[in-house]
Amino acid sequence: MHRKRSARIVATLGPSSSDLTTVRALFDAGADVFRLNFSHGTHAQHQERLEIVRRVERDTGRPIAVLLDLQGPKLRIGTFTDGPVTLQAGAAFRLDLDPTPGDATRAPLPHPEIFAALETGTELLVDDGKVRLKVGRFGPDFADTQVVTGGTVSDRKGVNVPSVLLPIPAMTPKDRADLEFGLTLGVDWVALSFVQRPEDVREVKGIVQGRAAVLAKLEKPAAIESLDAIIDAADAIMVARGDLGVELPAEQVPRIQKQIVRACRAAGKPVVVATQMLESMITSPVPTRAEASDVANAVYDGADAVMLSAESASGQYPREAVAMMDRIIAEVESDPDYRSAIDASHTAPQAAVADAICLALQQTANLLPVAAIVTYTRSGYTSLRAARERPVVPVLSMTPELATARRLALVWGVHPVHANESVSDVPDMVNKACAIARREAFAQTGDFVVIASGMPFGVAGTTNFLHIAKV
């Protein structure tokens, strides 16, 4: 089986999607990548879910990607003596390192790194911005603030510091333990939360050592200031609109989303748009019209994938949410204006041999009645550069590496195939490409396929060969 669409779907697994029947139903409905959110659940639960995904993979014969999403450094306020407190606008409120439970005048904030980075006028956002505090006087262990937007605050609510580059490591001790556990299980992608700078990505890559691909989640304004460098360092990017929408004014998020997608497409790096895409489907079998438009807009922009979070992890209608997302994508991609928009937003390739070959692939598919583009790849690089051109036909990616095939399940327009038989020469390569294109139902006898590879065979990063074949 293969998808009839180019954009991919990431579905988060959780309490509502933890059994084989449901995971298989999500795959059949359209899920290409399954996300394990390590902010919730135990190691044993995540291991069980990953094993279920691998069983679905074996049963269907399709490579499926598993994404490990690290929690990251969550900043939280402390506790209160008598339960939730209500802060009034204009009131004074102190935050400090004293662990004593707080009241309506003060509360513990056990994060010295926040106090070290403060400036007069810095805004602190509590509970996803429901309460806003402005810093006046401060020191290494306290901050006297004024309540700008009042509201109720309870134990352990999150704190965001939008305008400050915080001196905090990219990973907590929990993240490091979770990462090592996930790599042992064999996850395909690792999502790094709260990335602020390219060094955060490089640190994780140094730990991963190629055992998985690294996806940087952009949810802090500081990351947008270093956008190109972070994209260059990462293997993929996620527009994580939850915290991004807290730390930036809501009206800026759509523009920032489009900026990130454009930059990723120009660089040829996969980009995922996430958070609240079909939020109402947590409790409703149908989305709002605005949510359907939100998914559609990400697809019109050329995002590689769109993601479901609580909708598939803990919602009442996980299969329906995936199926709805699948139908929205298919509807967009059937719109003639979609192709026009994708072509109009395309940027020039790099002056490199691989990009010259992949541009020729795309142009050949425009000129001839080509059924599919076939790439031979070991690392996935050829397929990524081919997908960057957003060709009008699918990219059938043949690779001897199962890990590469799984990672490519996230990429726009790519249909990965784990083909572990070796290729001896060009005629052998052409014969196998045509046979697999026919077997995977991309081409019929008499159709053209365009083949890209590297010579000599089996050497990563040597895309330099193009061949047009008739099936």
Q: Tell whether 281 and 155 lie within a shared domain.
A: no
CB 190 within 8 A of CB 72: no
List the one residue out of 353, 370, 361, 440 whose CA is nearest residue 405: 440
Q: Tell whether 68 and 90 lie within a shared domain.
A: no
List the one residue out of 234, 120, 114 whose CA is nearest residue 168: 114
Q: Where are the alpha helices (DSSP H) in 250-400?
A: 253-267, 289-300, 310-313, 318-333, 336-344, 353-367, 381-388
pLDDT score at 426: 86
The answer to the question of residue 39 being in a domain is yes
Q: Which two tokens stand for residue 36?
A: 């394990």
The answer to the question of residue 18 being in a domain is yes
Q: Tell whether 428 and 462 lie within a shared domain.
A: yes
Check which CATH number belongs to the domain holding 143 and give it.
2.40.33.10
Q: Tell whether 425 and 293 lie within a shared domain.
A: no
Phi and psi at residue 103, to the nearest 5° = -145, -155
What's at 40, amino acid-wise?
Answer: H
- Which residue among the candidates 12, 122, 145, 275 is catalytic per the annotation? 275
What's at 469, amino acid-wise?
Answer: A
The answer to the question of residue 96 being in a domain is yes
Rounded CA-CA distance 141/285 in Å is 49
State which residues of the chain have pLDDT below 50: none
CA 173 to mean position of chain CA atoms: 23
- Which residue among the candidates 5, 217, 269, 385 is catalytic per the annotation? 217
CB 110 within 8 A of CB 89: no
Check which CATH number belongs to the domain holding 39 and give it.
3.20.20.60
The reply to whether 470 belongs to the active site is no
Domain end (from 103, 135, 160): 160
Strand partners, 95: 107, 143
Q: Which sign, positive or negative, has the C-alpha torsion 241, 195, 301, 36?
A: negative
The reply to whether 35 belongs to the active site is yes
Q: How far is CA 78 from CA 95, 96, 99, 105, 196, in A?
A: 9, 10, 7, 13, 24
Q: Tell whether 245 and 308 lie within a shared domain.
A: yes
CB 447 within 8 A of CB 471: yes
The answer to the question of residue 78 being in a domain is no
Rounded CA-CA distance 458/420 in Å is 11
Domain end (from 277, 306, 337): 337
What's at 117, amino acid-wise?
Answer: A
Q: Tell whether 179 and 317 lie within a shared domain.
A: yes
Q: Tell whether 49 and 91 lie within a shared domain.
A: no
Q: Tell whether 190 and 311 lie within a shared domain.
A: yes
Q: Tell whether 226 and 245 lie within a shared domain.
A: yes
Domain end (from 133, 160, 187): 160
The reply to whether 54 belongs to the active site is no
List the one residue out of 351, 347, 407 whose CA is nearest residue 377: 407
Place of tokens 């994938």: 305
The answer to the question of residue 347 being in a domain is no
The answer to the question of residue 80 being in a domain is no
The answer to the question of residue 346 being in a domain is no
pLDDT score at 439: 94
Q: Tell whether 61 and 196 lie within a shared domain.
A: yes
Rounded CA-CA distance 272/249 in Å is 21
3-class DSSP assignment, residue 134:
strand
CB hemisphere CA count around 194 (13 angstroms): 24
- Which residue among the candidates 35, 220, 269, 432 is catalytic per the annotation? 35
Rounded CA-CA distance 171/214 in Å is 13
Check which CATH number belongs to the domain holding 406 and give it.
3.40.1380.20
The answer to the question of residue 23 being in a domain is yes
CB 121 within 8 A of CB 148: no
Rounded-to-10 torsion of CA 70, 71, 72, 78: -170
Rounded CA-CA distance 447/438 in Å is 9
Q: Tell whether 191 and 321 lie within a shared domain.
A: yes
The reply to whether 130 belongs to the active site is no
List the one residue out of 197, 243, 201 whose CA is nearest residue 223: 197
Q: Is 289 exposed, middle or buried (0-12, 13-18, 19+ CB in 10 A)?
A: exposed
Where in the sequence is the domain holding 121, given as residue range(s)? 85-160
What's at 50, amino acid-wise?
Answer: L
Can you spell out the DSSP letters for 82-114?
A: TS-EEEPTT-EEEEES--S-B-SSEEE---HHH
Phi and psi at residue 209, to the nearest 5° = 55, 45
- Which residue among the candidates 74, 76, 94, 258 is catalytic per the annotation? 76
Tell me how many domains the chain contains. Answer: 3
Q: Tell whether 262 and 288 lie within a shared domain.
A: yes
